[in-house]
Structure 1
Amino acid sequence: MIKKHWPDLGASIVVFLVALPLCVGVAVASGVPAELGIVTGVVGGVVVGLLPGSTMQVSGPAAGLTVLVADAVARHGIQALGVIVLGAGLLQVLLGVARCGRWFRAISPSVVQGMLAGIGLVLVLGQLKPIVASPIALALGLLTVVIMLLWQRTPMRVVPGVLVGVVVCTALAALFTSDVDKIVVGTLSADVHLPNFSLLDTGVVGTAVVFALVASAESMFGATAVDRMHNGPRTRYNKELVAQGVGNTICGLLGALPMTAVIVRSSANVAAGARTKASRVLHGVWLLLFVVLLPGLLTLIPVAVLAAVLVHAGWKLLGLGDLVRLWRTDRAEGAVLALTAGLIVATDLLTGTLVGLLAAVVKTAWDVSRLSVVETPEGLALKGNATFLRLPRLLDVLDGVDREHVRMDLSGVRHLDQACGQAIEQWVDESRRAGRTVELVGRGEPVRR
């Protein structure tokens, strides 16, 4: 039995080493105590890891939710965070039970990439302040990023580069200087608390809905990506959505950070050779042992070092390479991505994402509504989808017709909406009153004669 799960044991240690600095970094960047990030990692590993849904996907606090959490804490206070996360978790459970899991995959990829890019940019910009706080902080931050980048090219890259960067720079700070801000760690008994339902109002409810939708979307997109990395069982999306909801419900009851499935930890899990759920469950156990037995080690880590870790994570979310490739292949999709990301930076995550979705819908409607209006020796031939989006073009052509007999061929029209149908009816009536002969063919008499 032990031999069977040996690969999962090794993978769990790798995922734990990747998750630890990220859990702490996301918590600090979100404006909550560092240990609450680890609590969320524990719940994501032990609880969600045991539930059905996905096999290789690892859950925990995510950089993609940092902007949302920081904004929620600033608006409603940290005491309301538990209520928000609890509400988001319950909504996720309901969505999963209602079999809405796969619907999240129907969102335009350009909007998803734009959302991640916007979050990444906000994350990078938000972490610049602690990095440039002093020359020493700047040096530690830059060195952390350099180590993380270079370590992946060494034969020892099985050890996570993020861990190496944090350990090396923390050791240098401890040996040569104490003039840098360090992580402040409280106690679990003081920071873990039941949600305060007296803080419940419309703003809190609205924030919980946003948390639920964004966290669900990120988890479902992540599941699709992780399934492409391995040959094991595929994700069952509705059950995975329920599992994420259960995890967030428990995190809300504990006053901890919200969770999603995290692509960085999930890909590390697959790359380390995990075969079953045991690896992600064990990584949660290691996090629990650490926060209980060795929380004092976190106080040695400079804030600038964790900020550098998040800058690296934000840069990967930004995905400039994907933006360039998308712009080259489809500029309209690239524009939707850039619009979504830009509005997230300029306003907030909800506004940017909603406007991006609206832009994607309009673009799709425009692409689908392709109507060809061709003048023939007999009159006009229409082909494609005649919708209100193409009404100005249709009216221009109809107004330009100047002949006594017109044969209008509608046999090539796949869809004729009410706006275009009424425009054709009106033109036919006016033409006949003017003494012209109009012959309509195709589409089974779509307009009155």
Structure 2
Amino acid sequence: MLPQLERPLSFPRRDVAASLVVFLVALPLCVGVAVASGVPAELGLVTGIVGGLVTGLLPGSSLQVSGPAAGLTVLVYDAVQQYGVAALGVLVLASGALQLALGALRMGRWFRAISVAVVEGMLAGIGLTIIAGQLYAMAGAEAPGSGVAKLAGLPELVLDGAGSAEAVAAFALGAGTIAVLAAWPRLPAKARQVPGPLAAVALTTAVALAFDAPVAKLEVRGLLGAVQPPGIGDFARLAEVGVLGTVLAFALISSAETLFSAAAVDRMHDGPRTDYDRELIAQGTGNAVCGALGALPMTAVIVRSSANVQAGARTKASRVLHGLWLLLFAALLPAALGLIPLAVLAGVLVHAGWKLIPTSGLAPLWRDHRGEALVLVATAVAVTALNLFEGVLLGLLLAVVKTAWETSHVHLDVHDEGGDGDAVRVAVAGNATFLRLPHLLDRLEALPRDRPIELDLSGLRHLDHACRTALTTWADRRGRTGPEPVVVAAASPAPPA
């Protein structure tokens, strides 16, 4: 039986238990996403805390859990490299304000109109970029800047790392982390009560400590030392075109990921459905607070959200409490984070990146909807080769072109009685757009030149300007060179000739 949700904030036993599960799942992911984004690990915890204590209290989706997401890692890393950590707060604060405006304008529901193939392609491209970048971290090496350079440099990474004891030890710990994460779902149910990410980090960290592995470990400064609220001067950067583009990318991509996650979480329970506009406002509020603290941007995260539902959560209390546990851990036990090797966190991110790639669904999608599969693959390649924003724009453009192509079907029925003086009757039906214009003109040019033509356009549901102009030109020219003017039954609202 699926859990029934309660509206008021309460603390039943199942919510407390679920909050502990979500906390244990979120802890390594918050830290790993922060490190992969090029910022102090504590900022990932700050975003997780805000996602629980601020966004978790607001209406929208009762069981969805917010925090730093792997899906924004590439974009955040690029922004930090280009503008610096000090500018991150302004970027996140402005994107939160934009989300608040979109929610107030009731634009949340329109995010559901984004092509699923584009979203999955975006996530796949992010996953590939994360994997390529974190493989360098697993070997203790510096990753190149672009996605293409990361992929191209992997053979050299293998050759250079094979002769280094430090690189081999780091890679072994990262590979061990991935192996534990991959095997964890196949273990007995009792063992799986411990979340896989926590188990993988704990086990491999214990191995590193036991063998005194010569690997780099996480540096910890404490929450107060890591928080960097933006200064007044930082807001002047919002006048830069590149900064505004990054803000727009933060807001749109995090909103799309959040609302797609909400749709997935709604399918997991039979309680109240997500209010998309309120959820967008909740995310905007959380990102505004994160920006004021100089932390990472947040989204609703499907891994934590599904863990919350599967652990038996019934109200929003579970996600609020998970933020409280993160706060207590960061305040009371920050030194525990300093024991974790960076290669172990890189292994967690490689596994997370792999899960962003729809490996199992690509083959069925190709069999049933090849156009969608091509959009997905093209978006993933563009995100990897170019950047996240340009890759998504290209994917959206391809999705629009694909839809236009699929909907612009034109049928030409030619009725030719065969007599010398009889007219050839041509009936055109469907949607005539510029995408089908070459096919349409080829068929018309192939008609007999020594016979009268009757062109029936009344069956057209849509006739765009390009086709109307081309048909007018063809009919005029054929009327001058043929035995008789072309007789046209007009398409609404006006005849082409």
In structure 1, the residue matched to 2:119 is: 112
| Residue 15 (1) aligns with residue 22 (2) | yes
In structure 1, the residue matched to 2:52 is: 45
Q: Distance in 1 between matches of 2:477 and 2:110?
A: 47
In structure 2, the residue matched to 1:168 is: 203
Percent sequence identity is 57
Gaps of 5+ in 1: none
Shift of 1:233: 1.0
Q: Deviations over 1:140-196 (max 9, x none)?
A: 112111112222222221211111111111111111114111100112222212213
- Report the number of matched residues: 449
Letter aligned with residue 75 of structure 1: Q
SS in 1 for 2:427: strand
SS in 2 for 1:223: helix
Q: Distance in 2 between matches of 1:285 and 1:225?
A: 25
In structure 1, the residue matched to 2:367 is: 328
| Residue 235 (1) aligns with residue 274 (2) | yes
Choose the corresponding residue for 2:135, options 124, 128, 135: 128
Shift of 1:331: 1.8
Shift of 1:197: 3.8
Q: Distance in 2 between matches of 1:291 and 1:96?
A: 32
In structure 2, the residue matched to 1:367 is: 406
Q: Distance in 2 between matches of 1:310 and 1:270?
A: 23
Q: Distance in 2 between matches of 1:114 and 1:448?
A: 41
Q: Is the 8 A contact 2:10 2:317 kept in 1?
A: no
Shift of 1:330: 1.8
Q: Deviations over 1:97-127 (max 9, x none)?
A: 0111011111111111100000000001110
Shift of 1:437: 4.2
In structure 1, the residue matched to 2:484 is: 436
Shift of 1:7: 0.6
Q: Is the 8 A contact 1:82 1:196 kept in 2?
A: no
SS in 2 for 1:440: strand
SS in 1 for 2:214: coil
Q: Deviations over 1:64-90 (max 9, x none)?
A: 000011000000000000000000000
* TM-aligned CA distance change 1:287 to 1:388, over 3 Å: same
Choose the corresponding residue for 2:292, options 239, 253, 260: 253
Letter aligned with residue 101 of structure 2: L
Q: Distance in 1 between matches of 2:493 and 2:198?
A: 71
Q: Is the 8 A contact 2:9 2:317 kept in 1?
A: no
Q: Distance in 1 between matches of 2:9 and 2:382?
A: 51
Shift of 1:322: 2.0
SS in 2 for 1:336: helix
Shift of 1:445: 7.2
In structure 1, the residue matched to 2:226 is: 191
In structure 2, the residue matched to 1:351 is: 390
Letter aligned with residue 278 of structure 1: A
In structure 1, the residue matched to 2:162 is: none
C-alpha RMSD of the superposition = 1.7
Q: Is the 8 A contact 1:83 1:197 kept in 2?
A: no
| Residue 56 (1) aligns with residue 44 (2) | no
Report which stretch shifted further, 310-319 or 169-178. 169-178
TM-score (norm 2): 0.88
Choose the corresponding residue for 1:393, options 420, 439, 458: 439
Letter aligned with residue 81 of structure 1: L
Report which stretch shifted further, 367-376 or 7-16. 367-376
Shift of 1:439: 2.4
In structure 1, the residue matched to 2:252 is: 213
| Residue 93 (1) aligns with residue 100 (2) | yes
TM-score (norm 1): 0.97
Q: Distance in 1 between matches of 2:103 and 2:111?
A: 11
| Residue 380 (1) aligns with residue 426 (2) | yes
In structure 1, the residue matched to 2:85 is: 78
Report which stretch shifted further, 129-138 or 358-367. 129-138
Shift of 1:2: 11
Letter aligned with residue 180 of structure 1: V
Q: Is the 8 A contact 2:222 2:331 kept in 1?
A: no
Choose the corresponding residue for 2:460, options 397, 408, 413: 413
In structure 1, the residue matched to 2:149 is: none
Q: Distance in 2 between matches of 1:257 and 1:351?
A: 21
Choose the corresponding residue for 2:469, options 403, 417, 422: 422
SS in 2 for 1:157: helix
Choose the corresponding residue for 2:345, options 282, 286, 306: 306
Report which stretch shifted further, 132-141 or 300-309. 132-141
Q: Distance in 1 between matches of 2:134 and 2:48?
A: 22
Q: Deviations over 1:318-374 (max 9, x none)?
A: 122222222222222111111111111111001111011101111111111111123
Map 1:244-283 onto structure 2 (within 5 A): 244-283=283-322
* TM-aligned CA distance change 1:257 to 1:3, over 3 Å: closer
Q: Distance in 1 between matches of 2:71 and 2:216?
A: 25
In structure 2, the residue matched to 1:146 is: 179
Letter aligned with residue 73 of structure 1: V
Letter aligned with residue 347 of structure 1: L
Q: Is the 8 A contact 1:102 1:237 kept in 2?
A: yes
Letter aligned with residue 215 of structure 2: V
Report which stretch shifted further, 178-187 or 54-63. 178-187
Q: Distance in 1 between matches of 2:492 and 2:410?
A: 19
